[in-house]
Structure formats: C-alpha cells, structure tokens
C-alpha cells in the first residue's frame, strides 16, 4: 500500500470554480480574490482580510505596515518553519528566538524575559493548528507597554508591541468560542498546497486592529502596498477609461491571482462544513490508537480553551534519540507510508547557526524535534489506510525501541 503524506483536496467544485475563472478571461487579481477575502471574513469573523501570494509575504507585509526594520527586534519561537524568521530578516529586523513549551508552542515565560525596548513585535506560531496561549501573551504585552518606544504614526496609535500570529497551520482552530484571527492584531493564514485550505500557493492577512485604527482603511492601504503601491489593480484599470493610476508607496508585488483564489473560493465553505470535521475524525482515530501505547506522546487536540485545526498529527516517541527517530521513519517508509518531521528547529539550520543561534539554548525545542514524527492526515484517507498507517508505525517503533 502506498500512502502519500499530504495530497491537496481537489473535488469537482474546485475544478468548476477554476474553470469559471479561466473562462472569464480574467486570471490575475480580481473578483475571485475579493470573493475569497469576503468568505474568510464571513467564516473567521475578522473585519477585513487581504489575500496575498504566500503567508511569508503576509508576515513581511504586516511587519512593514508597522514600520519594523533595522534596529528592531521581533520575538519568534525557535521551533517553526524558516519563513517566520525570514520574514523578520527580509524587513531588516532581528529575530529573537525563544524556546517553546511541551505542546510545541512558544513559551510565554520566555517571551516575557526576551522583551526589550527594541521589541516591536511578537510572532507566535500556532504549531500544527494548536493555538498559542494568547491570553497570557496579550497580558505580557500590556505589562511591557512602558518599554515600548514608538517611532512612527502607526506605532504611536497602537502604542505597544504588535501581536502578529503566524497561523499558517491553523485556519479553523478555536481559542475559546472564537476562530483564530480574533486573538491577535494581525493573523496570517497559509493557503499553500499542503495546508487545510489551499490556493496552491497563497496566504491571507486578517486584520483585527483595535481603535483608533479603522480596519477598512488599513485594508485599503495594505491592498495598495501589495500591488507595488499602485492605486488601481489591473482589473480596475482594465475598465473603460480606467487606465490612469498613481504609485504612492514603495510597495511589494505579492498579490494573489484569481485563478488561484478560485480554488480557495470552492474549498473554504466545504472546509468549514465537512473537511475540518473529517480531519478531526482522523485525529481522534490516531489518539484512540496511540493512547494505548506506553511509548507514545500524543499531540494536543482539545482543551477547555483550545481546539486544534488538526493540520498535523505530531506524534512523539518517548525517550528516543534523533538517530532512532530517523531509523523508525525509514522503517515506516519501507512500508509505503509517507511520514515527515515538523520542524527542524531554526538553530539547527546553517543560516541561523551562522548568525550565532545555538540549539543548546533551546532544549525543549530540540527534545520535541528529536522524537517527532508527523503522520498523514487528510480527508481522502480511508479506514483501511488509517489502520495500515498505525500498524506500520507501531511495528516500526517497536522494532527500534
């Protein structure tokens, strides 16, 4: 049996929506993008949402919007994909990495210790779709307002560290009764090919800014900034007499095209009506099987406050070394089951090693990493395939323990 790790979910509705975009004669940013933005707002509950070409671009845009650059610090977890740190580096700021909790998410205690007068933003990462400790993080930000030194108008308006969530994994996750998107000032979701909802490549920047900000005004600013600082998009310019435009910001070119947005337009309603529940059912199947194994450390799923989006099933094996984990993965792969590891902590990667980050400063990140194996989780999996996956994992682990 051959079981891939994370194929995209493409059904007839997706094909029809994409075909409609192709047949319309308009394939770059236009009505499909706006429809997807409106759907995100409707389902998540945020005031405004801007679609961009990747979550990485979305993080960069959010940082630039707040005027973050050279000399500024942004606190991030050491346990995340490189894009979280690269977004900070690309705007000229310094990533300040801190360790995580046992649940893979950034440690509030470590955040508190890392804040300095140079800190302009905190980017928590909702690993695998499990929400971070937002109440604690927001409390810390409020308690450190006296250290914040605004240097531009937007920073003066907010007058504190901005909270930008890297929720690439977490669309559909809940914190309390709200979907993620309402816990931070700005939340960025990914629509990459392997994510719960996809547009092949893409992301969305969700605005939830407090007063005195007007979220609609800031959306309009960001939309312009994401199109080279141009006052009209190509769709508007194409209308009769609409050719004249201006460039008012030194913007980026990070817009999402309609032909990709069409995939998300078809997927998003299906995701919230059925796909998310199917992912939860698979997650429960894994939990029920592995909770009987003394060697298994189960990932978080639900608590009184949090509900995962079930993006990844991050199984850990107790007491194993990195080498043993790799041997287990090889044995699982020999049975035709594709598994993965999420993630190599940033200080293990050459770029960040060369910048002076050392994995010894992040012991929990390394302990989680060396024991982690991500299992396939997507709605196309059958009961027979799930049973084959867990038996393959069980046999491989017990062979190497």
Give the active site residue among 195, 211, 253, 318.
195
198 Ramachandran zone, left/alpha/beta (phi>0; psi -120 to 50): beta
Residue 179 CB-density burial (10 A; 0-12 exposed, 13-18 middle, 19+ buried): buried
Rg (CA), the chain: 21
Among 172, 224, 239, CA closest to 379 = 172
- Choose among 212, 226, 169: nearest CA to 49: 226
Q: Give the burial class of 168: count Cβ atoms within 10 A of its Cβ; 0-12 exposed, 13-18 middle, 19 or more buried.
A: buried
Q: How far apart are CA 383 and CA 386, in angstroms?
A: 5
For residue 159, give every residue at least 6 positions away whose Cβ sits within 8 Å of its Cβ, in sequence order, or none.
145, 148, 150
Residue 2 annotated to the active site:
no
343 cis-preceded (ω within 30 degrees of 0): yes
Angle ∠(260,170,141) on CA atoms, nearest 5? 120
CA dist 144 and 165 (Å) reads 19
Report residue 308 as tokens.
């995962």
Residue 265, SS3?
helix
CB neighbours of 306 closer than 8 A, spacing ≥ 6? 130, 131, 173, 174, 175, 300
Active site residues: 195
């Amino acid at each position: 049996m051959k079981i891939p790790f994370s194929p995209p979910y493409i059904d007839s509705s997706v094909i029809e929506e994409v075909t409609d975009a192709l047949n319309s004669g308009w394939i770059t940013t236009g009505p499909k993008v706006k429809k997807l933005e409106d759907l995100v707002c409707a389902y998540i509950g945020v005031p405004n949402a801007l679609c961009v070409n990747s979550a990485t671009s979305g993080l960069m845009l959010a940082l630039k919007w707040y005027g973050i650059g050279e000399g500024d610090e942004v606190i991030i977890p050491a346990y995340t994909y490189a894009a979280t740190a690269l977004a900070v580096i690309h705007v000229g700021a310094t990533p300040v990495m801190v360790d995580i909790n046992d649940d893979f998410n950034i440690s509030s205690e470590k955040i508190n210790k890392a804040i300095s007068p140079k800190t302009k933003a905190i980017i928590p990462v909702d690993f695998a779709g499990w929400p971070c400790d937002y109440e604690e993080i927001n409390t810390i930000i409020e308690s450190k307002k006296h250290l914040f030194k605004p240097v531009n108008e937007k920073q003066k308006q907010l007058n504190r560290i901005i909270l930008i969530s890297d929720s690439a994994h977490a669309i559909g996750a809940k914190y309390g009764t709200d979907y993620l998107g309402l816990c931070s000032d700005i939340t960025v979701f990914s629509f990459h090919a392997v994510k719960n909802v996809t547009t092949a490549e893409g992301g969305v920047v969700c605005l939830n800014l407090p007063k005195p900000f007007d979220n609609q005004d800031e959306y309009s600013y960001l939309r312009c900034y994401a199109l080279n600082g141009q006052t009209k998009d190509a769709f508007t310019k194409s209308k009769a007499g609409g050719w004249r435009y201006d460039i008012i910001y030194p913007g980026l070119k990070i817009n999402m095209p309609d032909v990709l947005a069409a995939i998300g337009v078809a997927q998003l309603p299906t995701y919230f009506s059925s796909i998310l529940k199917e992912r939860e059912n698979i997650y429960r199947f894994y939990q029920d099987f592995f909770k009987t194994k003394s060697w298994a450390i189960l990932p978080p799923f639900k608590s009184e406050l949090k509900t995962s989006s079930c993006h990844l099933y991050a199984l850990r094996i107790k007491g194993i070394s990195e080498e043993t984990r790799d041997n287990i993965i090889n044995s699982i792969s020999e049975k035709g089951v594709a598994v993965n590891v999420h993630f190599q902590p940033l200080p293990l990667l050459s770029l960040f090693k060369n910048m002076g980050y050392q994995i010894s400063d992040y012991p929990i990140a390394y302990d989680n990493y060396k024991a982690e194996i991500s299992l396939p989780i997507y709605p196309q999996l059958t009961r027979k395939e799930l049973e084959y996956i867990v038996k393959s994992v069980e046999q491989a682990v017990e062979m190497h323990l």
